[in-house]
Amino acid sequence: LKSATGQSHAKIIFWGEHSVVYGQPAICFPISEIKTTVVIEQTPTGQHIQSRYFNGSLTQMPESQTGIQLLINTILTLLDEEHTPFQMKISSAIPAERGMGSSAATAIAIIRAFYHFFQHPLTHAELLRLADVSEQYIHGNPSGLDAATAGSRVPIWFIRGRRPQAIPINQKAYLIIADTGIMGQTGLAVQHVKKQLAENPQAQPAIEKLGANAKAARTLLADGNTPKLGAIMTNSHHLLQTLGVSHPALDKLAGLALSHGALGAKLTGGGMGGCLIALTDTSEKAKKIASLLEQNGAVQTWIEPLARMNHKG
Ligand code: MEV
């Protein structure tokens, strides 16, 4: 093909960050309005990459881009196209390192674009397996949750090592996503939890309770009481605090949202920075809280109606 496009989107972990690493279930939402797009074009010579981090040849990518470089080389080898010239442009509206899955979305979009460019069929299992090449490099020992959500158009129920399952959402609630502007530190946070499990007797029960909360949330999302769903969110935030992965900026935004009518609030993603999510029952309240959070330090907010999650294309 002369040119091909691959896309993916941001993700929000509703339940299960960290506990998913230890086999507990997670619930994750694709945020399809916040996209990553990769365009590959035919060119006479060279293998050129352009992104917000780098503009140059595939062989000269800096160390911070090794995960992406590794992924591209793996795809080219697999498709027997190592010497084919191309020009790739990566554009992303997903803020980096805020727990919104920007690295997994980039990987998924790159894989889709290449398979399309070379007109090669791509199974869903192969898509996730390839995304794992860069995710392993970037995040050490990822659960696969980010890649599974970046590759899904609908909310998923995810257990490490199993196929993600689509789950129905039947809630009229609204989700506010607020970016603290502070880089999350997923790798560090994952290490911190590991250390807590060895040293802090409250850590293991917290992991188990996070899993139990995800199970209760699944039922409530399908058909249930929004205030109860919110209460489970806030409880999960406290459990994540126990594990030591929150941040004062996240706690401040959570407190503000809750004291101004949010039904629940918790950090989302790896934590130690990144984003907060809060739940409301009306879009008016969601807008009010979103602007309050922006006045109090959030650098960006988004509002997602939960009911729309099922119907995204
Ligand atoms: C990162 O988005 C989610 C974590 O649970 C890590 C992982 O699942 O690999 C913190």
ipTM of the complex model? 0.96
Residue 136: which residues within 8 A CB-CB, separation 6 or more? 142
Q: Calculate Rg over the CA atoms of the chain.
A: 19
Closest residue by CA, ligand 1 atom 2? 269
- Whether the model clears a pTM of 0.90, i.e. scores above it, the answer is yes
Q: How far, in Å, CA of 289 to CA of 135, rounded?
A: 34
Q: Tell me, what's the pLDDT at 310?
A: 73
Expressed in angstroms and rounded, the spacing between residue 227 Cα and the centre of ligand 1 is 26
198: tokens are 């060895």
Residue 29: beta bridge partners? 12
For atom 8 of ligand 1, the residue with the nearest CA is 143
> How far does residue 190's CA lie from ligand 1's centre (Å)?
7
Is the C-alpha dihedral spanning 189, 193, 198, 203 positive or negative? positive
Is residue 181 within 8 Å of residue 298, measured between CB atoms? yes
Nearest Cα residue to 48 out of 90, 80, 94? 90
Q: Report the pLDDT value the prediction gives residue 313, as an integer from 0 to 100.
A: 42
Contacts of 121 (CB under 8 A, 6+ apart): 115
Residue 185: predicted pLDDT: 84
Helix pair angle (226-242, 203-222), 10° resolution = 160
* Nearest-angstrom CA–CA distance, 247 and 241: 8
Ligand 1 neighbours, Cβ below 6 Å, are 13, 17-18, 20-21, 99, 139, 142-143, 145-146, 186, 190, 269-270
Q: Report the nearest-CA residue for atom 9 of ligand 1.
A: 142
Residue 175 Cα to ligand 1 midpoint, Å, equals 20
pLDDT at 309: 76
* Residue in this structure with the two tokens 């406290």, named with its chain if needed: 238
Question: Cβ distance 147 to 108 under 8 Å?
Answer: yes
Please identify every stretch of the chain with a pLDDT value under 70, giving residue numbers as ranges. 311-313
**Could you give the residue range(s) of every CATH 3.30.230.10 domain in the chain?**
3-158
Closest residue to atom 10 of ligand 1, CA basis: 270
Superfamily per CATH, domain 169-311: GHMP kinase, C-terminal domain (3.30.70.890)
Q: List 248's β-bridge partners, or say none.
A: none
Ligand 1 centroid–CA 186 distance in Å is 7
Topology (CATH) of 3-158: Ribosomal Protein S5; domain 2 (3.30.230)
Residue 139 Cα: closest atom of ligand 1: 9
Task: DSSP letter for 88, please.
Answer: E
Pairing status of strand 47-50 against strand 86-92: parallel
Q: Specify the domain boundaries for CATH 3.30.70.890 within the chain.
A: 169-311
Residue closest to 171 by CA, chosen among 219, 232, 237, 233: 219
**Separation of CA 81 and ligand 1 centre (Å):** 33
Give pLDDT, residue 311.
Answer: 60
State pLDDT tens for residues 60-99.
Answer: 999 989 999 999 999 999 999 999 999 999 999 999 888 8
